[in-house]
Amino acid sequence: MTAPRFSLVKTATHELHVTEWGDSDNSPLVMWHGLARTGRDFDELAAALSDEYFVICPDTIGRGLSSWASKSETAYRIDTYADHAVALLDHYQMDRAAWVGTSMGGLIGMHLAAGASADRLSCLIINDIGPEVPQAATDRIIRYAADLPEFDQLSEAEAWLRNTYAPFGPADDAFWRRMTRSSVRRTDQGRFTLHYDPEIIRQFAAYLDDLSTWDNYKKIKLPCHVIRGENSDLLTPDILARMQKEGPKPGATEFAGCGHAPTLSRKADIQLVRRLLTDLQLD
């Protein structure tokens, strides 16, 4: 695997940890992770695409090695994350970048694509999320994300992650070992827990409008493509069908054997994303 680089980027109020892949002279590509995850989720995909792209994979504030919010009630929401995304584009002098967003990362991409920063994106690949999040799926996410588990051994953490994120779909042992190392931190008591601030779920209670954005979605004019796990409870068939009839009217690909959300880490996944990026940017 191509070796990544790591940077700390200052915004007005935060320090963002960013994993970088490839030559900075290559075409720019941003990959943004899901709610309780980190930018390291894209290691396999980013490494493979780094032959053509300069890829940045940020840790959202409150996750991974980025700073946590002192005012979680206002900081942990989509429009704030989108502001940080624009700050990153400015920092890396990316006038226009392709965007791959998983779950929350897809919501951030759609927010940018529907607003004043739409011209900063060249295309949008949305991984298993739509402009509407069903209540049952929201309730499930709150249940697993609200209470941080603790583990005595790293192997216990890996077993928990394999079970909790089984809907990611088939992945090899190397993926789960790497995911475990980039997903945990030590507690004050020396045990392992997950690498995020439990306050990140505040957006589900305080900012429900962030999870129902059909009006903004209809404004998107960028070339788009949507990926769905066939068993996903977040991106239901009805929501996907409506997405394809409104706004950017994206193409769609369904991944067998996956729920929410496909890892995009397997060889076939990577080939698909590479082809989509080429085709979308030719539109």
- pLDDT for 141: 82
Tens of pLDDT along 9-59? Answer: 999 889 999 999 999 999 999 999 999 999 999 999 999 999 999 999 999
Query: Domain of 86?
Result: 5-280
What global pTM score does this model have? 0.96
CB atoms under 10 Å from CB of 95, counted, come to 10
pLDDT digits (tens, 9 = 90+) for 80-120: 999 999 999 999 999 999 999 999 999 999 999 999 999 99
Structural domains counted in the chain:
1
Amino acid residing at 145? A
pLDDT tens, 117-144?
A: 999 999 999 999 999 999 898 888 888 8
Residues 6+ apart with CB under 8 A from 195: 38, 63, 64, 65, 182, 183, 184, 185
Give dist(CA 97, CA 229) in Å, integer: 25
Of 154, 156, 106, the closest CA to residue 132 belongs to 106
- Residue keyed to tokens 């090695």: 65
Q: What is the pLDDT of residues 258-271, one digit of tens each?
A: 999 999 999 999 99
CATH of the domain at 55: 3.40.50.1820
Q: How many CB atoms lie within 10 A of CB 82?
A: 21
Tell how strand 192-194 and strand 184-186 pair up.
antiparallel
For residue range 45-78, what is the model confidence (pLDDT) as tens digits? 999 999 999 999 999 999 999 999 988 878 999 9
Residue identified by tokens 């994206």 is 250
